[in-house]
Amino acid sequence: MEKIKVAVNGYGVIGKRVADAVQMQEDMELSGVCDVVTDWRIQMAVLKKYPVFASDDTFQIKMNEAGINSSGTLNDLLASSDIIVDCTPKKIAAQNIELYKKLGKKFILQGGEKHETTGHSFSAENNYATALNLDATRVVSCNTTSIVRTLTALKNAGLLLKARGTLLRRATDPWESHLTGIMNTLVPEKEIPSHQGPDAQSVDPSFDVITSAVKVPETLSHLHYWNVQLTRKADKEEVLDAFNKSTRIAMIKYSDELAANNTVKELMLAIGRPYGDMYEVALWQDMLKVVGDEVFYAYLVDNQAIVIPETIDAIRALTGIEPDAEKSILKTNESLGVKQSFY
């Protein structure tokens, strides 16, 4: 079987995880990773024997001076790749689009970019088919991914009428917590709805969803609280059954001492996840409450990991190597160990 050759531009929080995930797929091959840094981060790619490329000639010289034997520049990497996953910082990716288009390369952007940059926003369980053989898509952000997953589960069960959610957002990524973030305060987003609701509608315009968000002084994950009006009265078991039909929502229990994001992070480390990553939405089963035609629930989102399986599925969709969404999701889940129960 001929493998799809995948390039990763930007070897940071998301890029390193995408590169690792690509390496685990039987139908993909990592053609290389590209960056502008010469510190420990890119040294990890060298240690893993990934082909390393510099953004341009200037950075290639810097890499060589730092003892990193680069395989060339971004242009060289693109020439040997079928598709590129751009994981560069917010707004940088949008500047790379013209190069990708000029070279006729399919590309995937991350959720930091606007929907308009690609004209398509992706979430595997919701709209995989609409991405088949497109030239580009955008995998929506970590929070939006969780929203689309959970609301899609309710929608598929015929239960979703409208949704209202409050997001407690981590202040910054863990590795940058010594540089940026907030301390001893809470910072609400000044607009309601916050951007996640409209972003979810870029994937599925049928969603009646409004979000509000608050930045909080921690870095481990996001926490969501949701109030969803159902299309009719239902009981708890029916709602749980709807969520359980998603292969990327995992139930956790407050009664199992999984009472906070740090305990769930510890669980991910205990089960051997790389970087302690959680690809699933971790939804508190015993907290979920149904009152008539309303359901109230809460869950955790790993801001560094939840989009990784979506990105792998997006590669298959754009290249057309797997036209069936369920088959792609199954392949990705099996390779990454995505599960509906952690123990």
Q: Which of 293, 171, 282, 294 shows the shortest CA–CA distance to 226?
A: 294
Which class for 240: exposed (0-12), middle (13-18), buried (19 or more C-beta within 10 A)?
middle
> Which sign, positive or negative, has the C-alpha torsion 179, 180, 181, 183?
positive
Tokens of 226: 């949701």
CA dist 76 and 31 (Å) reads 10
133 is in an annotated binding site: no
Q: Please report, for residues 19, 126, 273, the alpha-carbon distance to residue 231 in angstroms, rounded to integers and kept in the order given.
A: 41, 19, 38
160 is written with which tokens?
Answer: 């979703």
Could you confirm whether 142 is annotated as catalytic?
yes
**Which DSSP symbol is given to 73?**
B
Q: Is residue 275 within 8 Å of 304, Cβ to Cβ?
A: yes
Give the alpha-carbon dihedral of 244, 247, 253, 256, to 10 degrees: 130
**CA diameter of the chain:** 66
How far apart are alpha carbons 146 and 304 in whole angstroms?
12
Instruction: Please identify which of the residues 93, 142, 151, 305 carries the catalytic annotation.
Output: 142
56 marked among binding-site residues: no
Distances (CA, A) of 103 to 23, 83, 96, 106: 24, 11, 11, 9
Q: Which helix (H) or strand (E) holds 284?
A: strand 281-284
Which residues are catalytic, by number?
142
Known binding residues for NAD(+) are 35, 303
Known binding residues are 35, 303
